[in-house]
Amino acid sequence: MKKYFLPTLTAAVLTACAPTAKTPTTTPTATTTAPAAQPAAPDWQEQAETFLKEYSTEYQRLYAQSSEAEWRSNTHIVAGDTANSGATARANERMAAFTGSAANIQRLRELLEHKQDLTELQVKQLQTALYNAANSPQTIAEVVKRRIKAETQQTEKLYGFDYKYQGKSVTTNDLDELLRKEKNPAKRQQIWEASKAIGPTLKEGLLNLRDLRNQTVQALGYPDYFSYQASDYGMSREEMMTLVRKINEELRPLYRELHTYARYELAKKYNVKQVPDYLPASWLPNRWGQDWSAMVDVKGLNLDPVLAKKGAEWQVKQAERFYQSLGFPALPASFYEKSSLYPLPKGATYKKNNHASAWHMDLNQDVRSLMSVEGNTEWYETTHHELGHIYYYLTYANSEVPVLLRQGANRGYHEAMGSLMGLAATQKPFLAGLGLVDPKSQTDQTQTLLKEALNYAVFIPFASGVMSEWENSFYADKLPADQLNARWWALAKQYQGIVPPTTRGEQYLDPATKTHINDDPAQYYDYALSYVILFQLHDHIAKKILKQDPHATNYYGSKEVGQFLADIMRPGASKDWRTVLKEKTGEDLSARAMVEYFEPLMAYLKQQNKGRKYTM
């Protein structure tokens, strides 16, 4: 392990003294002493720059090695094979040893004591490095090593699980498709329960990780891992929870209408005479009830038949063409050579992570995506979303942004960019321009808006409510091991109005079936904040740039839209996220635009729900 220290600048600490004149022996005269020269003040900016240059070079090298190992662990999972997990653990240990080294922590703190003498950009880099150090402080090296090993093992369990339905192995894509289409409530319950079978296998590992993650960040003064993640926004845990609760409250009236509508419409669909007060989780077209949009098929906007014919590869290439039409460059050739974009072939002897993700491998031009694209509407939107991350990476990987600040303005910005492009790519004028729908076809605008609300608005109580509250309880409040599932379902009932189809005791661990709980912990509020940001950006683009109705836009080919987005992307994390939002949209973070977008739907829902029982 090589530790990096700033070389001692001796010139900064030497003092120069003029010699004292000797007194002559013959004639007693007054002696004179030259005034002592003042010590030269340390040049803290120069010292910080020297340290950051050396630190960033090593950081980028180790980051790339860690990314490669993680990529292999996520794309080639073989049951019983420990080679990948061992290589990943070693790469992550090297990264942890460097970022969390006691010498680096000491030097970072020393330099930050003089932040008034440093540039704003230097301070941001040093603070980022210290934040990274808290994730792996070598003052507790053994704990960090155990955590890395535990996280690698949890990932392999998570993505190596063999899901079974009706005695046959199935993928999560298969289960999702069945939940979208099956109409028999009994079969739906079997499908849903099959999707939750992985939970108990992850319980021991997750509890172990809770302790290790908390211990890791506590070494640098954070009270718990949730507080640590929230601090990346410049906010305390309490401030973050206040913010996400406010967002949830602002969207609550709309969600209440959607919840009532869904209970009655799904009871009708499944031929259930007694409408339940709360939605059985197995009734919904998503494993966690976070997206109900499959409930609605908008006539003239059913893309599945068209996309099935065009195939998976067309969707990825078309998403790239969309970004190019806005003025962004073609993707590097290595993106297609090194990414894992499509489902594994039948009979493959290994598995891969089935959750879509975008990777910035070297904090420069090596960008990749891990997906399992198929020819359907869900993957059409997802490809546009994931390429939003990719183009964000490429845009801030420029000479003006230091390596340590090559990330989103905040974590939510990354998701906002991806989700914004997913929304834009599904609006009718956009689809008509691509020939995916007939521009002359009559489409019901209310049904279109309903479908969007069942996606975006329904997501908020899951992300800002269930996920954020559960992880806050888990990490900060030390939720007891015998209350994990009970707390999850209490929150689902409170925020989503969803209940399990049958009693789910503590022998299950349904929260762990959500991948983020395991491998992207204590930051799911990123997604809730991203939806708020995306509607603020979309509102500005539609009204101020395109001069179009926010419900019917076409970004395609607009270089002005591309410039607006690139201006947000280009600084990465080198500018404060609040400043970026205020400068580009003229307002602070607010759910105003999202609430306003769905206002036309409220009258329709209230009419549909007239005489129905509200339970939220």
Annotated binding site for chloride: 233
CA distance 392 to 409: 10
CA dist 469 and 572 (Å) reads 29
516 carries an active-site annotation: yes
| DSSP character at residue 340 | B
Could you say which of 386, 452, 469, 471 is catalytic? 386
Answer yes or no: are the C-beta atoms of 576 and 458 closer than 8 Å. no
- Inter-residue contact 126 to 111 (CB < 8 Å): yes
Give the position of tokens 């599932």. Answer: 485
Residue keyed to tokens 């155990």: 146
Q: Which residue has the tokens 């007239």?
A: 610
- Long-range residue pairs from 268-275, CB within 8 A, at least 24 positions apart, any chain: 269/183, 270/183, 270/184, 270/185, 270/188, 272/185, 275/612, 275/613
Annotated binding site for Zn(2+): 385, 389, 415
In whole angstroms, what is the distance from residue 286 CA to residue 378 CA?
12
Compute the half-sphere exposure of residue 196: CA atoms within 13 Å on the CB side of its CA: 23
Q: Is 190 left (phi over 0), alpha (psi -120 to 50) or beta?
A: alpha
168-170/498-499 β-pairing: unpaired
164 phi, psi to nearest 5 deg: -125, 135
> CB within 8 A of 391, min separation 6: which ones?
323, 328, 417, 569
Q: Which of 424, 419, 373, 356 is nearest to 392 (CA)?
A: 419
Cα distance between residue 71 and residue 334, in whole Å: 14
Spatial CA neighbour of 1 closest among 82, 140, 84, 95: 95
Which two three-digit tokens encode residue 565?
Answer: 């987005």
Catalytic residue among 76, 114, 516, 551: 516
Q: Do 200 and 505 meet the contact criterion of CB atoms below 8 Å apart? A: no
The DSSP string of 381-446 is: HHHHHHHHHHHHHHHH-STTS-GGG-S-SSHHHHHHHHHHHHHHTTSHHHHHHTTSS-TTS---HH
The tokens for 335 are 């993106």
**Residues recognised as catalytic:** 386, 516
